Amino acid sequence: MTETPLPTPTESAIALAAALKQFAAADRVLLALDFDGTLAPFVDKPKSARALPESKAALEKLERTPDTWVAYVSGRPLSSLEIVTEADEDALLIGSHGVEVRFGRDGVSLDLSDEERSTLTRLGEVLQQLVDSVPGTRLEVKPVGFGVHYRLLEETDGADVVRRAYEAAATVSDSLTIRDGKDIIEFSVRGADKGDGIERLREYTAANAVLFAGDDVTDEDGFRVLRVESGDIGIKVGDGETLAQFRLADEKAVAAMLTLLAEARASRA
């Protein structure tokens, strides 16, 4: 373990360094990481997002280390997550907030019932109508739902779009999973969340300790399933209320943390 302190000034930097040291010494560890806003800075074209080079190097080092798993847990559809993470065929990927799962060569799991399919079709129709009527909004098609993007709108117009999207979706079904994210409101016919994704990863990898980092409100579902008493670590990236134990300022601070952890994990006794 290097004695270099985490370069980002946070109130809990020393406590985080101590927790990471303990984490790095565990038998089998899993790093489950959100992508956008955690590893990769936000960009205008979602497909152009890439992890910071320092993070990518640290994750590649961790992936080469025995008994160490790296997984990406994102709200992006799996097909998009595969591109931006530049994932190889062994990658562990959770897309669509836990709905889509790809565990290396074991394949993808996603099976919709007939009822879910028909709800999905109608949901797409009503939300497309809404987006068509409001310039500056955009509909994103997701495997089991839709996201209405409104980043280009003024705050009050954005709030109005969210309200109308709720109303439109309610005409289709009263049992949709709704996620209010950063300038996006999402409606899904399947109710998995990032916490479900992390639990599946924990089971699949048989990890003794899990580290999860994320920046958005939907990442709170991930922090909720962590077992802090068993050495799990939750890291909230950026501002906002959180269940996570630790906070890092931004993607650069995450890169520094991963670099430190990769070194500690590779050199453990």
Q: For 214, which DSSP code?
A: E
Which range touches Mg ion (CB under 5 A), out of 37-45, 81-89, 138-146, 242-250? 37-45
Amino acid at 142: K
- Residues numbered 200 to 219 that lie near Mg ion (CB under 5 A) are 215-216
Residue whose C-alpha is closest to residue 54's, from 41, 68, 44, 67 = 41
Please list every residue from 55 through 114 that binds Mg ion, using CB under 5 A: none
Of the two residues 97 and 202, which places its CB atom closer to Mg ion in the complex?
97
Residue 196 lies near Mg ion (rule: CB under 5 A): no
Smallest distance, Mg ion to C-beta of residue 198, A: 14
Applying CB under 5 A, the span of 34-42, 119-127, 164-172, 241-249 interacting with Mg ion comes to 34-42
Nearer to Mg ion, 55 or 119 (CB): 55
Pairing of strands 68-73, 92-95: parallel
Question: Cα(98)–Cα(188) distance, rounded to whole angstroms?
Answer: 11
Considering beta carbons, is residue 34 or 221 the nearer one to Mg ion?
34
Tell me whether residue 24 or residue 255 sits nearer to Mg ion (CB atom): 255
Question: Does residue 193 bind Mg ion (CB under 5 A)?
Answer: no
| Chain Cα centroid distance, residue 124 | 24
Residue of closest CB approach to Mg ion: 37
Of 45 and 105, CB closest to Mg ion: 45
Which residue type does 1 have?
Answer: M
Q: Please tell me whether residue 34 binds Mg ion under the rule CB under 5 A.
A: yes
Dihedral of alpha carbons 93, 81, 90, 40, sign: negative
Nearer to Mg ion, 164 or 236 (CB): 236
Q: Which of 19, 37, 84, 102 binds Mg ion (CB under 5 A)?
A: 37
Residues, the chain, total? 269
Q: Collect all residues with Cβ–Cβ distance below 8 Å to 64 and sequence separation of at least 6.
A: none
Single out the segment in contact with Mg ion by CB under 5 A; choices: 15-23, 35-43, 121-129, 203-211: 35-43
Binding window for Mg ion (CB under 5 A); candidates: 30-38, 105-113, 225-233, 255-263 = 30-38
Smallest separation, CB 3 to Mg ion (Å)? 31
Q: Is 73 helix (H, G, I), strand (E, B) or coil?
A: strand
> In the bound complex, what is the minimum distance in angstroms from residue 267's beta carbon to Mg ion?
30
Whole-angstrom distance, CA of residue 67 vs CA of residue 225: 21
CB 199 within 8 A of CB 227: no
- Rounded to whole angstroms, the Cα distance separating 130 from 128 reads 5
Contacts of 53 (CB under 8 A, 6+ apart): none
Nearest to Mg ion of 213, 256 (CB atom) = 213
Which residue ranges make up the site for Mg ion (CB under 5 A)? 34, 36-37, 215-216
